[in-house]
A and B are shown apart, each in its own frame.
Chain A
Amino acid sequence: MSSIFDKFAPLQEQHTALTALGRSPDQLQFEDIISPTEAMLNGKRTILMGTNNYLGMTFDEGAVNAAIEALKTQGTGTTGSRIANGSYNGHKALEEELAVFYGMRSAILFSTGYQANLGAIAALAGRDDYLLIDADSHASIYDACRLSDAQVIRFRHNDPVNLERKLKRLEGTSGSKLIVVESIYSMLGDMVPLKEFVEIKKKYGAYLLIDEAHSLGVLGQKGRGLCEREGVEGDIDFITGTFSKSIGTVGGFLVSNLPGLGIVRFVSRPYMFTASPPPSVVASARKTLAKIAGATDLRKKLWDNATQLYTGLQQAGFELGPTISPIVAIRLSDPEKAIGLWNGLLDAGVYTNLALPPATPFGWYLLRSSISAAHTTEQIALAIEVCTRIGRELGLITLSNSKRADKTAQQGNGAAQLNGDLQTRPCATSETESAVTPTTDDPAARV
């Protein structure tokens, strides 16, 4: 007799193969969270190197105390959407603080970062409009496209020439054109060539939305992200972001300097038909957001840590993403060795993320780590040492790899060379940052 689950047989097979070699990412259960960088896993003290906790804010005393106070005075939840149940003072205050932080006219709060992209993009791009999205977009952007009535056109990853070609073909059409990019792409840590994209959007009169999920608090003198670092904030139409990374809690937002943003609240289903963020979450987000602009020392420590991890793994002989960033991904082609490395690291007390095709660029198997300002130099050194030892045991790196990497590092342009290597290859991925994506549900697979 057939089962409603039969269609998932290929995915089940993939999952079984994954667990046969040890653990499965979805089955990991931390018994105790000791700090932003350590937890107990199966009775073992484990260094957390895959939690996107970039500034280590999850245990910030001010944020924790604010959350406790909000819990006591306002309760555990709002029990409904702001459209139906109304707003709490904290919702409005946080929106105003976000607008001030970005120097923009207004902001809209969402319950998660996923919903911010879903709600913003699907609402902004309607029937007769055009969405132009990067091929390596996060799943939330792909899902927003499904929810939107707009025509969706993909361009090759980080390729301004390909984008321009597509905009040129749309000349003469009447609908609005909304380009969607991400500041830092979540799998490899590579960044959008933002200035080039801004020039193109201006040339063709398009709108530009940038998801700063992985760059809020991470890039820019004041932590406003890639737009600030590149000096193009005045040319950006919409920014989306999340509180679940550097802000250390949960929630998402849309900010814009364009007048009239407020109407989005009444056309955005992911805003209207879900419960608003609970008071404790809002209270901790406000406390942490208030610290971001002044967190210069944390940002410096974060980038020092990222450099230590990237160069350490590169010199050991691993193949990494194209540039130093708080996301450091080891690129592997053999699934069994990738799973073996991930399991070996866990056995040694280091937690990272395992990302599998088709959710990864170029069909690579990725051992993805995200660094935090809260990591100590010793923790990172230990992770590099353990990773190198297991990498050698699995035959992933050899001494000749290491020598070549050392030579590259001495030339001082290792990242640039890797970048060149990547950019000459064709782009091919979709719906990133979901470790196991059913191939049958991939839009690209429906041809």
Chain B
Amino acid sequence: MASSNTPVKTDPETIMLEIKTHLRERAGDNAIIGPDTNITRDLGLDSLAIMDFIFDLEDSFDISIPMERIAEVQTLSDLTKTIAVLQKEAA
């Protein structure tokens, strides 16, 4: 459940912007990051960096992302949709 004092970021654009910010911290300023970017294949992030990225997203959006949901995600667009759905479920 989202806590009442946490900013709710449910619109896709805001969610994607937040994801990009976290990805840039890991992939670097020069990385090309768009909706169709494949997060594991295109950005050179290893599995450990990805896991830490997920932990940061969970804190940022105040949601828990179950492992089976992570398994369904490939692109930034997929991840945006998953986070939006999880936020709605938690509301």
Contact = CB atoms under 8 A, between A and B. Distances in A.
A152 B55 contact: no
Contact of B70 (A363, A428, A446): A446
Interface in A351-409: 357-358, 362-363
A67 B81 CA distance: 58
A445 B68 contact: no
A415 to B, nearest CB: 24
Given A430-B47, A430-B48, A447 B90 contact: no
A444 interface: yes
B8 to A, nearest CB: 14
Contacts of B53: 447
A443 B71 contact: yes
Q: Interface residues of A: mostly helix, strand, loop or mixed?
A: mixed
A445 B67 contact: no
Nearest to B53: A447
B11 to A, nearest CB: 21
A172 interface: yes
B79 interface: yes
Given A428-B51, A430-B48, A153 B71 contact: no
Given A357-B46, A363-B46, A427 B52 contact: yes
Contact of B67 (A156, A429, A443): A443
Interface in B25-72: 39-40, 46-55, 58-59, 62-68, 70-71
Contacts of A165: 59
A170 B63 CA distance: 10
B73 interface: yes
Contacts of B85: none
A430 B1 CA distance: 26
Contacts of B39: 447
Interface residue range, chain A = 20 to 34
A445 B50 contact: yes
A171 B47 contact: no
B74 interface: yes
Contacts, number: 81
Contact of A169 (B46, B52, B54, B64): B64
A10 to B, nearest CB: 12
Nearest to B72: A446
A439 B47 contact: yes
A145 interface: yes
B67 A428 contact: no
Interface in A428-447: 428-430, 439, 442-447
Contacts of B59: 165
A396 to B, nearest CB: 23
A169 B47 contact: no
A168 B1 CA distance: 7
A447 B70 contact: yes
Given A426-B52, A426-B55, A445 B47 contact: yes
B47 A442 contact: yes
Contacts of A135: 51, 55
Contacts of B70: 443-444, 446-447
B66 A447 contact: no
B64 A166 contact: yes
A172 B48 contact: no
A171 to B, nearest CB: 6
B55 A156 contact: yes
Interface string A143-171: 00100000111101000001001101111
A59 B58 CA distance: 50
B62 A169 contact: yes
6 contacts: A154-B51, A169-B63, A428-B48, A445-B50, A447-B40, A447-B70
Given A151-B66, A443-B67, 4 more contacts: A363-B46, A443-B71, A445-B50, A447-B74
Q: What 5 A-B pairs come out closest when comparing CB atoms?
A: A428-B48, A445-B47, A444-B51, A442-B47, A152-B67
